[in-house]
Structure 1
Amino acid sequence: MVFLALAVLVRIPVPLFPQEFPLLALAQMVLLALSALLWAFRYLGGRALGLAAVAFGLGLWVEFVGSRTGLPFGRYTYEGAPGPHLWGVPLIVPLGWFALVLSAHALARGRPVRVGLMAVAWDLGLEALMPAQGYWTWQDPRPFWYGAPLLNYLAWFVVGWALSWTYRRLAPGLSAVGGFGWAYRLEALFLPAGLALLGFWPAALACGLAMNLLAWERRRCGGE
């Protein structure tokens, strides 16, 4: 939880120092990934390292293939993206697949379909923010939302679903543990706020509504 709190604090200066976004975004995601790893380690012990490696590796592989072939997301490139990189993919991307999807998995109590929807809701905001910051560039001839095709959101659902299914198979008891779900809830607060400050109002509204409806549904139904 200390690393999660630090990840939140790192985001606060972003509007004051927009030129430092790459550094602050990387620091925030590294802290979030450390928080995810330590949370999992508390309940799984050394198996948490394997879980993180599988999720990180899957995220890295799908982005490596996607940025070179156009599948499964559509045509995009990471050329010129802020570093550091692995196989040409910015490190922040596979770290995000590991940490934020694990948080969604915890929040959704291990339901892969719901986790896939939560991943799509998150990407509704990312597709406005990250290309504007130079992380990736869309070249798809069939744009649907901020340059990204509909195929991209179907792929985000599938990858989110697959990671949640993997988490459930490798660590079946982890989805019954609360706590780290707050990482997704905090992202549902900060990402739409940042989009609004940058003037991306459609993305702020769509992402904010979708993420928060999914993040707080269990609370309304009497859950955590």
Structure 2
Amino acid sequence: MNIPLAKIPILNKRVRFPVSPHIPGGLATPADLCRIAAVAEKYGGTLKIAGGNIVIIGLTLADGEAAMNELGMRPESFLSNTIRGVTMCAGKPDCPRAQQDSTALGLALDEEFFDQQTPGKLRIGVSGCPNCCAEVFVKDIGLFGTAAGFTVILGGSSGRQAQVGSIAAGNVPAEETAALIRRIVDYYRNNAKNKERLGQTINRLGLDHLVSQAIPSQYRLSK
């Protein structure tokens, strides 16, 4: 991780650098947590837990860079044109309401898609049942599990232009979801304007346009 600003003395004294290691699914071992806590203590930082992330706040730029190097973990992506870490609920077998294993799927999707470049910020969420504890209706790409597979919601956002996503596909087997998301992300890259969220692209071109180009016919919902 390279932070040239850390070499500028006046900035290194005044600027504070939040260190946020990427923790897929928010799943960490006790040893992971102890290591993060030890690094925070070493550099005089404070731990802040936000969603599925643990952030070390209050560090100088140089100490922030040193802390990330010492942790040996990938940082969270805060760029405006990348895919963020996948949000996921516990799912099977850890939640009695779950109809699908959202954790296994979420981790696989995070492994493939995290930090990929896209026209704008893109968030993915996976819930194991229709209760949608991973808030999938306000993700750019959301999935919730049913007995028949996953339902896919597209175009949600909880940002400044908040909107609820639209159901675009249903009964998608877990093993087919990654391929489907690749098609959706490719559509997004080919059709979005710079810094446009997926929901804005859908609002401009219409959900039917995306469905016709990116959703295989067997998963399309009849009207």
Q: TM-score range by the shorter chain?
A: under 0.3
Structure 1 or 2, whichever has the larger Rg, is 2
As a proportion of its length, which structure holds more strand? 2
Higher relative contact order (CA 8 A, sep 6+): 1
